[in-house]
Amino acid sequence: MFVLGDAPAGDYAWFPENASTFAADNDWLFGMISIVCIIFFIPIAFALFYFALKYQKPKGAPAESDTSHNTPLELAWSIGPSFFLVGMFVFGAKAYLDHRTVPDGANEVGLQGFKWGWTFNYGGGVYNPELHILIDEPTKLSMRSSDVIHSVFVPAFRAKKDVVPGRYNYMWFKPTVATEKVSDAELQAAIEATKAAGGEWDHDRWQFTKDGYRFFDLYCTEYCGKNHSKMQTVVVVHETLEDLNAWIEKYSKRQEETNPVEYGETLYNQRGCKGCHSIDGSKRVGPSFQESFGNNRVFASGEAIVADENYIRESILYPKAKVVAGYQPVMPSYKGQLSDDDIYCLIEYLKTVSAHSGKTEGGENIEASSSEDALSDAETATE
C-alpha cells in the first residue's frame, strides 16, 4: 500500500518521509520483522505442497492414522525460531518504551479530539486546528477526547496514539525535518504553472497551509463515525522559536484591525462549528446558523424563545441548558475555550448569516426588529 500510495505523483516509496527521531528505528524494526516473516514463509509454503504431493496415499493403499516423528528435527524447528521471536520482542519493547518515555523539558501542546476534528491548545487561550511545533525539540501532546475513541497518527513521525474519552493520554515526538515556508519565488512559479495548466492546481506538487507553510499530515486512524475521514489536519515544523511564536501570536486573539464579523467567520471555520452547523440552511449534526439568530427556537422541553445574543452565548458555553427540539445534546461546551471577544465575534457573524434576522417564521415582529419592518407590517395590517 505504501508503494502504491504515491504512485500518481510518480513518487514510489516503501515508507513515507522520515521526519522524526523515531522513524529510522521504526522502519528498521518493521523491515526486519517483514524479512524474517518472508524468509520463513516461503520455504514453509513450498515444503507444505511438496510433502503433500510426495507423501500422498497411493491409490488402493490403506489410510494410516499415525506416523513416527523425529525428535531432534522438532526441537530444532521449535527452539531455533524462538530466538527470532525473542529478538523481535526485545527490539519492539525498546521501541515501545521510547515512545512512552517523554524526555525532560518537552514542550507541551494540548490536543482535543472530537467528532470530527482536532483542536490544539497552545496555552494562554490560543486554540487552533493546526499543530505547529519546533524542529529538534521534543513535543508532548496531552490528549483527550470529548466523545468517542479517536487515534492520532502522524505517518512522517511514525507516531500514533489513541485518544480516549474520560482520560488523558499522551504521546511525544521530536521532529528532525522542518516544513519551511514557501518562498515568494516558488509561490510565483506555482501560480505560473497553474496558469499554464489551464488553472489546474497540482496538489501533489504544491501543498501549503493558508499561511504558506508546507506540512506533514496528521489524521485519525480509529474509525469513529460517519465523518471519520474528515479528521485530518496539518503538522507544521518551524525552524526557529521566533517563527513559531510569531505564528502563535498571530492566532492568539483578534487583531485590532480585523472586524468582528470576519473574525467570527474565522472562528466558525477553525473551531469546529463548521462540522456541525451549516450556513446554507442544510441540516448537519446541529441546526443551520441560517435559522439561528433572531428566529423562533423550540426546545426539547417544549419551551420556546426567540434566539437573541444571550441565548447564543448560553448555547456556546452551556449547550445542554436548552436543547433544540429534533437534535441530540452532543455539542461540546466551549467554556474556557472561547473568550468573551470570540463569542461576541461569533454572534456578530451569526447575525450576518441568519436568513430572517429580526423576524419570527410567521413574519411577526419581535423586539429586535427594526422600526422599518414594524412600519411596513403596520401598513399591511391596515390595508
The contact set with Cu ion (CB under 5 A) reads: 150, 220, 224, 231
Contact of residue 297 among ligand HEC, Cu ion, none (CB under 5-8 Å per partner type): ligand HEC
In a 13 Å sphere around the CA of 59, the CA atoms on its Cβ side amount to: 0
Residues 259-278 that bind ligand HEC (CB under 6 A): 271-273, 275-277
DSSP string for 68-80: ---HHHHHHHHHH
Q: Give least dist CB 151 to ligand HEC, A.
A: 18
One of 108, 327, 352, 377 touching ligand HEC (CB under 6 A): 327
> 261 by DSSP, 3-state: which?
helix
- Kindly state the cell numbers that stand for 223: 474509525
What amino acid occupies position 25? D
Contact of residue 220 among ligand HEC, Cu ion, none (CB under 5-8 Å per partner type): Cu ion
Q: Is 224 in the site for ligand HEC (CB under 6 A)?
A: no
One of 133, 134, 346, 353 touching ligand HEC (CB under 6 A): 346
Strands (E) in 174-313, as ranges, are 216-220, 232-238, 296-298, 304-306
- Closest C-alpha to 287, from 353, 379, 368: 353
Q: What is the DSSP letter of 180?
A: P
Q: Is 157 in the site for ligand HEC (CB under 6 A)?
A: no
* d(C-alpha 233, C-alpha 355), whole Å: 31
> Is the Cβ of residue 100 or residue 230 nearer to ligand HEC in the bound state?
230
- Closest C-alpha to 172, from 119, 90, 98, 231: 98
Contact of residue 231 among Cu ion, ligand HEC, none (CB under 5-8 Å per partner type): Cu ion
Contact of residue 272 among ligand HEC, Cu ion, none (CB under 5-8 Å per partner type): ligand HEC
> Is the Cβ of residue 169 or residue 288 nearer to Cu ion in the bound state?
169
One of 26, 233, 290, 292 touching ligand HEC (CB under 6 A): 292
